[in-house]
Amino acid sequence: MTTPPTETTRQTPATRAFRRRRTSFAATVAAASLLVAVPATPAHADVIRAQQWALEAMHTDDAWRTTKGDGITVAVLDTGVDPTHPDLAGQVLTGKDLIGFGAKSGDRAWARHGTAMAGIIAGRGHGPGRDEGVLGIAPEAKILPVRVILEGTDPDRSKARKSRGGSLADGIRWAADNGADVINLSLGDDSESAHPEPGEDAAVQYALSKGAAVVASAGNGGEKGDRISYPAAYPGVIAVTAVDRYGTHAAFSTRRWYATVSAPGVDVVIADPDRRYYEGWGTSAAAAFVSGAVALVRAAHPDLRPAQIKKLLADTARDAPDNGRDDSTGYGIVDPAAAIEAGGKLDTGGGDTKDKATGYTKQYFGRGPDNASDQSEPAAWLAPLAGGLGALLLAGAVVLWRGGPVIGRRRPR
């Protein structure tokens, strides 16, 4: 790994805070879902934006001098995305629903997690001057929604687990065939029964061969044994761990060999279909931030291959560990501005689109696509990741909603 470039940007208080190291981070998650209301408090137009500390910490202003992601499509494989949310108006393309049942638009258990991820990636805000609401890392990128899983609160989730086991693999292939430049996977399985699925592995390799970068959350099992999470562990995937605003590894974030880079995953402001704004945590959010960063790099350097982008993020990451890399934060905190600058010096001609940086020499990680049809059970990714997909991010204190109350705390099941 090359030495990260010296930081020359203005050191604002938020940036300085992000760079300071803390000795520990504690995250305790209750086993039951809980929503507590507290007294209403007036909100100002800019209160949401002011709490988006990750925008400054990730040096987005520097990256945006070159691009804001125009021309790039990011596929969000999740619980669906609300295209009518004011922060995403005009950003969401026609996608694909590979579940076909469950909650519908307007239901409380519809598209919450997916909308939150889409906002982190490509939110544009709303209101006069777009100074209200959530602003994403790549606000000019487009979102391609692919519904491959249901929210943890959806009554049909068990039915989906039994009957839609191949949805993730199918969704990855569909996204790669329908214009996705980046595929965001803020989901996964780190249960005791987790194992590589040949169909998913083959789908990831297919997407990489088509030129789509694949980003996945490393897992939220840091306090539950650090079990391997899939799809994060598949070769070629950019696996993302979470850090807090001080740049400290979040205790809940899984530590494993596949960690590529880290990104904000604590106290992250998110948009919701209910038109409120929540503050939560999770490697789901961290993966979405990196997908936005990859969108910026791809917009600036459209000829870069997925393997080059993964290595570029590693080589330009900030706050690299003493040994260059560790399982907690990978090669360091993603820095899209530095990656864009360094990307202009890379040779984009020829070579294999698969990622060689993992050191994995076999064609596929699991048994391979030839055995994909032999599966006798739903793919393991449908098992909940550290408490349930859909609750990965919506798990912390909740921030102000303009014109409304401070909502209480929301914890996963």
Q: Which residues contact 107 (CB under 8 A, 6 or more apart)?
A: none
The active-site residue, picked from 78, 87, 189, 335, is 78
d(CA 336, CA 254): 23
Give the Cα separation of 406 and 44 in Å (integer).
12
Report the distance separating Cα 16 and Cα 104, nearest Å.
43
Active site residue 113: yes
| Residue 192, token pair as written in the block | 């005791």
User: Which residues face 142 on adjacent strands?
Assistant: 73
* Nearest to 336, CA basis, from 9, 142, 59: 59
* Degrees to nearest 5, angle at CA 244 with 243 and 248: 65
Q: Which of these is catalytic: 217, 262, 284, 291? A: 284
d(CA 150, CA 394): 15
* C-alpha 129: how far from chain center: 27
The token pair at 236 is 């070629």
Which of the residues 59, 85, 113, 126 is marked catalytic?
113
The H-or-E segment that residue 338 falls in is helix 336-343
Dihedral of alpha carbons 226, 231, 236, 238, sign: negative
46 labelled catalytic = no
Nearest to 114, CA basis, from 99, 130, 131, 129: 99
Is 376 in the active site? no
Torsion of Cα atoms, 220 then 222 then 224 then 225, to 10°: 120
- Which residues are marked as active site? 78, 113, 284
